[in-house]
Amino acid sequence: MSEIDAAEAERHKAKMAKRKAVQDAEVAGKTVAEKGLLIVNTGPGKGKTTAAFGLALRMLGYGRRVGVVQFIKGKWHTGEKDAFAAFGDQVAWHTMGEGFTWETQDLQRDIAAAQAAWGKAQELMADPTISLVVLDELNIALRYDYLDLEKVVAALKARREGLHVVVTGRNAKPALVEAADLVTEMGVTKHHFSAGVKAQQGIEF
């Protein structure tokens, strides 16, 4: 690396000072200290559930309890379930799906499983000891009309003060996106599955 002369260093310092002033002013303009957030991770790209579990791990790092309800997934054994089991009662984990709809091929069974999972989700959201609830693949259950969209959105909007909820899955409904505080669309630039690589332990499950 070439040496930085004094003039270049001074220009950089002045540039960063201006940037810091802008950043500080933006932070100072935020007046809401804390707010329970409704977060939606959607889109065709990989990483929606992974990002949600990253937030769960962050919460656990501060000693807060986390609830997880998996709406669709259920057949595969996953590394994350085993990892979170190490936190004991700090994590309330409920895998209530029976596989994707193309696997079950049973509409009535799929609807019943989704409704049972939603019932458990409501229990966790009402538990005052839980700070974050992850509703994994809820978007899929809503996409196939296994649950009443209006009722689900209304319940999420009416959640108790301070509770954070993360909803994952492709094709988030517009009503849910509108109700959310934070929406992240995971895009696909390149995916190894397209090149014939199967789902791998530690990467997909």
Does position 4 have pLDDT exceeding 90, yes or no? no
CATH of the domain at 181: 3.40.50.300
Q: What is the pLDDT of residues 93-132, one digit of tens each?
A: 999 977 555 555 678 988 999 999 999 999 999 999 999 9
Please give the Cα distance from 170 to 40 (Å, whole number).
10
Lowest mean pLDDT among 28-37, 96-105, 162-171, 193-202: 96-105
The answer as to whether 148 is a domain residue is yes
User: Is residue 21 one of the residues assigned to a domain?
Assistant: no
pLDDT at 73 exceeding the cut of 90 = no
Distance of CA 112 to CAs 6, 145, 146, Å?
70, 12, 8
Residue 15, helix vs strand vs coil:
helix
pLDDT confidence band for 41 (50 / 70 / 90)? very high
- CA nearest to 78, candidates 68, 64, 89: 68
pLDDT, mean of residues 140-164: 97
Lowest mean pLDDT among 3-7, 39-43, 74-78, 123-127: 74-78
Domain ranges, residue 172: 35-195
User: How many domains in the chain?
Assistant: 1
- What's phi and psi for 80, nearest 5 deg? -65, -35
Integer Cα distance of 28 and 4 in angstroms: 34
Q: Which of 20-24, 59-63, 103-107 has the lowest mean pLDDT?
A: 103-107
Determine contact, residues 62/35, Cβ cutoff 8 Å. Answer: no
Asked if 8 contacts 150 with a C-beta cutoff of 8 angstroms, the reply is: no
